[in-house]
A and B are shown apart, each in its own frame.
Chain A
Amino acid sequence: MSLEPIALEGSRLAANVPAQHRVVDADQWTAAARQLHDAGARLLTLWGADDRDRDGVFRVFAAYLLPGRALVLELALAAGDPTYPSLEPWFPAASRLQRATRDLLGLGAGEGDTRPWLRHGGWPEDRFPLRRDVSAETHVPGVPGPYPFVRVNGDGVHEIPVGPIHAGTIEPGHFRFSVVGEKVLRLEERLGYTHKGVAKRFEALPLLEGHRLAARVCGDSAVAFSWAYCAALEAATGATVAPRATCLRALALERERIANHLGDLGALGNDAGLAFGLSQFSAIKERMLRLNQNVFGQRYLMDYIVPGGVRSDVGPRLVRPLLDEATDVERDVVALKAIYDEHAGLQDRFKGTGQLAPLTAKAMGALGLAGRASGIDLDLRVAMPWAPYGDLRPHGVLSMDGDVAARVQVRFDEVMESLRLNRLLLEQLPHGATSVSIPALGSRTTGLGLIEGWRGPVMVALEAEVPSVIRRCHVHDPSWQNWPLIEHAVTGNIVPDFPLINKSFNLAYSGHDG
């Protein structure tokens, strides 16, 4: 098939970062994928919409990340034959996204892996819950069937099934290991266990309440998701958030990043046999959460970011405790980093374990923290800074090593950088309003919110219509890209190192399952 090159430009798309939108036909969809791949772009996400009630078609959208901008391609699909060309040949991350789109909307990508992904048999195969003529409330039971895992054959090969319920206080998912002795030959993940129907749920919520659901797509990234939702809503409606509110949002986002990184650094020490690390880091994290309670009224900032701004101001009396805390956290983390760095037993477990080579990371489209630990130099705060990050000028963190040690290192460095950003924000907090009202919706409109959460880029694509209702809301967590990386990183390692490797990525289950 010969395809004419197409212009990788489009019309402006309302978003908090530079973004464009372009309607394409099926040939251009494929040509663009090839061109974007060759140009080094990344596929951020893919989703579908049922627009048969409006203009008689389904639609599929693909969002790409290019240097300094996002590009959304839109392809209309005939209602009678809703299929589109697969993006998997260029972007491996498309595979699971396409399987999910098939499960929810019945849009087929033709080739590649056609096993269901989010549908585990809980609803019938021919019932597509995200279609607009399918009731949100009714539950129609399906017939659960076996899931065909890829079998590894050979002398002495056996399988270890793990999950969906895991040994610790963590989220559910299934891992199927094919091993010889202790060595992992192949890992296959099966996810979707926490699929709650978030996308369908959005469509039952008023436009000005969607941020509450967004915050609960992935509870550890509540700030990132609620900010992404509000950014999409504000872009779509043309609302301008006051500088003080954007700075307070950034303060909350960086605190979320620090708290999660501290939790992970402790858990990683623990998973490598150093319980001391867990006690120490979890105590620092607990102090941060208690200060959150005092400053923001919540330990976890589920409802701090609201459409138009933030829920409450941070008064002058609260700035000093926050600054003092930053000093304390920095002192503690520096001391603990020295202990981690010098601990031979710990470094022995970290170094060379769960290696994800930069070439593999690039080919798989790795994003966020895990990508940066494998040489993928992409941090949206640096690459396409939205307010207030343009003024803050964050420093990106990078490692080329790709092992557990590298993911530990990136977390340490990012904690330090976030503490620096927090100090800047607190010292230069602009005066003014903390919230503006959202203009009433005049017509159907769309908006995109793109935020670098602690795991990586979080995206919300919002389509709103009169009178202030959500027509379609697609949320994306970078775990979609990064889960397949673990299948690569664990190969050749021993089974007992899997918890350590898995924790070093610490990907979202709920954020992925939706």
Chain B
Amino acid sequence: MLNIINRIRGIGILSEALPGSDTDEPRLRDIHERLHRVFGRALRIRHVDAGSCNGCELEIQALTNPYYNLEGMGIAFVASPRHADILLVTGPVSVNMEEALKRAYQAMPHPKWVVAVGDCGACGGIFGTGYASRGPVSSVVPVDASVQGCPPSPLSLLEGLLHVTRQPAQHGS
């Protein structure tokens, strides 16, 4: 137990002393502040992998590491779409996930936003459309914003979240 405490104390709080280039650090802080200003401590996200390669998932998971510290900003991932404000969707939507994605969207309370993540979510990416792929998320559920990248960096994801939630929910109340 003592070695755990010692290690935590020795490392300190990473999310306050961000490493990386000079340009990254203030940018990240600024995003944190704006996210906090807009949402207070109450934004809930439900992520749905609708056919992704798992690349975007890794970067979404990174948002909760000590550097980006999303939960420290009061933004959390929830297990049920019924608890969510935002549906964060990755992947070209596979034909086999189409129904599940629609149901998750329908299960969300109003107002709600949908953010399509990654080049595939935004436009179908390298997979495009075909017998097993519907392509972009917007071909299956209404999308409020997309975050491009393959995969998008955690910083881009933070910016995307900020962008979408500063506009009124188009498919909401």
Contacts and interface: CB of A to CB of B under 8 A. Distances in A.
Interface of A: 118, 120, 122-123, 127, 129, 134, 136-140, 144, 164-165, 167-172, 192-198, 200-201, 212-213, 216-220, 222, 263, 276, 279-280, 282-283, 285-287, 289-290, 299-300, 302, 335-336, 338-339, 342-343, 508-511, 513
A196 B54 contact: no
Contacts of A167: 79
B159 interface: no
A194 B58 contact: no
A464 B130 CA distance: 22
Contacts of B3: 335, 338-339, 342
B62 A197 contact: no
B165 interface: no
Contacts of A509: 49, 54
Contact of A276 (B4, B65, B67): B4
Given A171-B49, A193-B97, A129 B131 contact: yes
Nearest to A293: B153
B96 A335 contact: no
Contacts of B20: 290
Interface residues of B, number: 53
Contact of A169 (B60, B66, B104): B60
Contacts of A218: 53-54
A286 B62 contact: yes
A192 B96 CA distance: 7
B77 interface: yes
Contacts of B57: 169-171, 219
Nearest to A122: B95
A198 B54 CA distance: 14
Interface in B49-77: 49-62, 64-67, 77
A514 to B, nearest CB: 9
Interface string B23-58: 000000000000000000000000111111111111
A171 B130 contact: no
Interface string B71-114: 00000010100000000000110111111100010000000000
The 6 residue pairs across chains A and B that have the minimum distance between CB atoms: A219-B55, A122-B95, A197-B132, A282-B65, A219-B53, A167-B79
B172 interface: no
Contacts of B48: 165, 172
Given A194-B97, A195-B96, A282-B65, A168 B77 contact: yes
Contacts of B19: 287, 290
Contacts of B51: 193-194, 196, 510
Given A123-B95, A300-B58, A335 B7 contact: yes
Contacts of A169: 47, 49, 57, 60-61, 77
30 contacts: A122-B131, A122-B132, A123-B132, A127-B131, A139-B129, A167-B79, A169-B47, A171-B54, A171-B57, A193-B94, A194-B52, A196-B91, A197-B130, A197-B132, A200-B132, A201-B126, A212-B126, A219-B52, A219-B54, A219-B58, A263-B58, A276-B4, A276-B8, A279-B65, A299-B153, A300-B151, A302-B151, A335-B3, A510-B51, A510-B52
A338 B2 CA distance: 12
Contacts of A120: 95-96
Contacts of A198: 127
B55 A220 contact: yes
A287 B20 CA distance: 9
Contact of B49 (A172, A285, A286, A342): A172
Looking at B51, B52, B95, the one whose CB has the most chain A CB atoms below 10 A away is: B95
A139 B97 contact: no
B63 to A, nearest CB: 9
Contacts of A335: 3, 7
Contacts of B99: 144
A347 to B, nearest CB: 14
B140 interface: no
B79 to A, nearest CB: 4
A498 to B, nearest CB: 15
Contact of B91 (A137, A194, A276): A194
B14 A283 contact: yes
A123 B55 CA distance: 27
A440 to B, nearest CB: 24
Contacts of A263: 58, 61
A194 B98 CA distance: 10
A302 B150 CA distance: 8
